[in-house]
Structure 1
Amino acid sequence: MSVQSFTSYLLLEKNYSKHTVNAYEKDIQSFIDFCDKELKLESINNVEYNIIRNWIVTLVNTGISNRSVNRKIASLKAYYKFLQRVGSININPLAKHKALKTSKKIEVPFSEEEMQRILLQLPFEDDFEGSRDKLIIELLYTTGIRRSELINLRTNSVDLNQRSMKVLGKRNKERIVPLLLPTIDLFEAYFRYRKELENITHDEYIFLTISGNKIYETLVYRIIKGYFSKVSSKVKRSPHILRHTFATHLLNKGADLNSVKELLGHSSLASTQVYTHNSIAELKKVHSSAHPRGKKL
């Protein structure tokens, strides 16, 4: 059974995105290259754990992070799990492997004040790119959609009359996301400028470049980083931080965790709970200031 069979399984049966499948394939190829170069093995299908352990040591010695090593191992483990599932091997050599320890990533959301400065005080150019950029920031903050979901939004995804939007998430799972009135206004302004574009090559997609092509990931990242560098000193300024900010601000205002889960398109509450630490910090402040025992005598 080849790696290609595994990637086909991920694409066709698991509905993983091409980007995710390419990452799996790249990680597995890294192990294949190691076995070919160091051990002259023709196949990785029947290796023992000690060989994988040597690869892990080699990876660590190159200086890459434990988080990156764990990702590679997770890809390889999934491959062996697939081989075991189809009967090509009897034992998954990584079945008892324990992930390397990693430090928790601290992602600090933007404050409400920073969001107000961006959307209410910061001047945007009164043209196609200005209206597009402001709508992108507004949409990421008020809906919590992923960057990839925003890029792939189609013109028939949005119903301004119903104030709703269809979002195609991970594994082709579709969800309906409500739109706020200010977001509707920004959509209408952007669509007016969009109609004036010449030579549109990807008309089915909502967000385009000035040349009429479908917008791309690095441009979205540059838009967010560029505007937020004007109002925030935070080290990390990315589209994902806006998704983090969306969830945190909702939870801080008392939103139900299950509701936030549905809005984010998470398949389990465990994924949503990573956003709760900031709301808990806010609750601690309220608790300390409101409870009689919290006040200093």
Structure 2
Amino acid sequence: MTKALTSFLNYLEFEKKVSKHTLTAYSTDLLQFQSFLIQEDQNAALVTANKAEIRLWVASLMDTKKSTRSINRKIASLKSFYKHLRKHELITIDPSKSIHSIKTPSRIPQHVKASEMDGLFKNETFDDSFTGVRDKLILEFLYGTGTRASELLGIEVQDLDFNSQSIKVLGKRNKERIIPLHTILVQQLKNYLSYRKAFDTSQLFVTETGTPLKYHQLYTLVKRYLSTNTTVSRKSPHILRHSFATTMLENGASLNDIKELLGHTNLSATQIYTHSSLKRMKNVHAQAHPRAQKKS
């Protein structure tokens, strides 16, 4: 790994304090670009890359049928890297400055219907073992709080406050927020803690051996339960975040309240949930209003 890349990754980890998942994504993107450069020229390097080489790499990514979202993330990684180098005078010209993200069509986020989530908790058999109690709690927690996977994995026992029925969450850029916990969730947390007390670790969610739960374990767990109980095509922890937001909106919560609960910086990030709610309301209107049922 080059000195420039190491410097940038250290900046992200120790100054920006990005999550391990984000740090890995940046590192992967930049190393992929470095490999592309070396394939074209053995003497090529990240610090000497030019605009034309970046455009060629983006074009090659598009040829491999990678998603627009994935390509845009890689472009963003490059732009952040070269901005850092320029700021520290490691390069004189930023080759990514005129590189723009690829336009993407607006996509309505998938979510699990409230009826399907109710069915999951009603029909799924969660036994009284540590794993069964933990799995049910995780699903209830993601759906009941809208936390990101990285936030859930970072929660410590001391972040719980049963007196106020709330929990402290550390979000993106180390921004703290307080999320209320509904009564069922509080009861499940207390039950889980009675199983977990044998483990000497600060992390709230752990494996059956007491080690902190990792992202791939969380993803596998959520995917398994959603696969047998829901109809959504994407089955990840983030789908339950979308489900939380959509359910809140459909039951009368304001966009500003949902924004605060999700930890969004801008309201525009929260407004994507109005599309799925509007689509549902249009369907209800079409079925229920007598004028909507008449043909012109």
* Shorter-chain TM-score above 0.5: yes
CA distance in 1, matches of 2:68, 2:226: 30
User: C-alpha displacement at 1:58, in angstroms?
Assistant: 3.0
Residue 233 (1) aligns with residue 216 (2):
no
Q: After superposition, where does 1:1-297 map in structure 2 within 5 Å?
A: 2-102=4-104, 107-195=109-197, 197=198, 200=199, 202-288=200-286, 293-294=291-292, 296=294
Contact 1:224–1:238 under 8 Å retained in 2:
yes
CA distance in 2, matches of 1:23, 1:237: 21
CA distance in 1, matches of 2:67, 2:23: 21
Q: Aligned pair in 2 of structure 1 residues 184, 83: CA closer, same or farther (>3 Å)?
A: same
Contact 1:151–1:216 under 8 Å retained in 2:
yes
User: C-alpha displacement at 1:294, in angstroms?
Assistant: 3.5
Q: Aligned pair in 2 of structure 1 residues 154, 95: CA closer, same or farther (>3 Å)?
A: same
User: C-alpha displacement at 1:65, in angstroms?
Assistant: 3.4
Contact 1:153–1:207 under 8 Å retained in 2:
yes
For 1:210, what is the secondary structure of its paired residue?
A: coil
Higher alpha-carbon deviation: 101-110 or 229-238: 101-110
Q: Aligned pair in 2 of structure 1 residues 293, 192: CA closer, same or farther (>3 Å)?
A: same
Contact 2:131–2:208 under 8 Å retained in 1:
yes
For 1:45, what is the secondary structure of its paired residue?
A: helix
Give the letter aligned to residue 36 of structure 1: I
Higher alpha-carbon deviation: 2-11 or 51-60: 51-60
CA distance in 1, matches of 2:68, 2:277: 28
CA distance in 1, matches of 2:68, 2:20: 25
Give the letter aligned to residue 137 of structure 1: L
User: C-alpha displacement at 1:133, in angstroms?
Assistant: 1.0
Contact 2:108–2:276 under 8 Å retained in 1:
no
User: C-alpha displacement at 1:259, in angstroms?
Assistant: 0.7
Q: Aligned pair in 2 of structure 1 residues 194, 88: CA closer, same or farther (>3 Å)?
A: closer
CA distance in 1, matches of 2:232, 2:64: 30
What TM-score does the superposition give when structure 1 sets the normalisation length?
A: 0.89
For 2:229, what is the secondary structure of its paired residue?
A: coil
For 2:177, what is the secondary structure of its paired residue?
A: strand
Deviations 1:92-127 (A, max 9, x none): 222222323546555421111111112234331022
Contact 1:252–1:282 under 8 Å retained in 2:
no
CA distance in 2, matches of 1:225, 1:32: 34
Give the letter aligned to residue 21 of structure 1: L
Give the letter aligned to residue 229 of structure 1: S
Q: Aligned pair in 2 of structure 1 residues 86, 153: CA closer, same or farther (>3 Å)?
A: same
Unaligned ranges ≥5, structure 1: none
Give the letter aligned to residue 246 of structure 2: T
Higher alpha-carbon deviation: 265-274 or 175-184: 265-274
What TM-score does the superposition give when structure 2 sets the normalisation length?
A: 0.89
CA distance in 2, matches of 1:288, 1:105: 23
Give the letter aligned to residue 160 of structure 1: F
CA distance in 2, matches of 1:90, 1:293: 65
User: C-alpha displacement at 1:190, in angstroms?
Assistant: 1.2
